[in-house]
Amino acid sequence: MLKSETSFVVRYAETDQMGIVHHSNYPIWFEAGRTDFIKTMGMTYSQMEAQGILLPLIELKCSFKSAARYEDEVVIVTSIKQFTYTRIVFYYEVYRKGSGTLLAMGETSHAWTTRELKPVNLKKHSPEIYQLLYMAYEQSQ
């Protein structure tokens, strides 16, 4: 199963008055995981954008299971949950490194568009990008 793992240490600025990671940081962490996942396929986000393909967010879900705290080492595990010609859904699990405690899980849904934000059929518009993602999706199942 194709997955990427993105590790980092929680920064003080990411925590709230209670000393736990503020919920607004998880979408940023998901983006870091998604960017790393695309790299594991052999292409960067900027290369995809240079070919005229954008991936705007259309839905975000996150479920919190346990608190992350300042200086925790966390790992974002990213995979593809769904993939079509017009959309892609990434799935994320956030763990505390070492203990393996599940901190959160979520998903983001994205549409394939042009720079003008017009929806496209990825297979027709950019068959090479479609093929890379399709192979990654097949390996994620």
Active site residues per annotation: 16
CB-based contact 103:66 (threshold 8 Å)? yes
Sign for the CA dihedral angle at 27, 29, 33, 35 comes to positive
Q: Is 2 helix (H, G, I), strand (E, B) or coil?
A: coil
Q: Give phi and psi for 81, each to the nearest 5.
A: -95, -45
Tell me how far apart the 2 most distant CA atoms of the chain are, in Å: 49
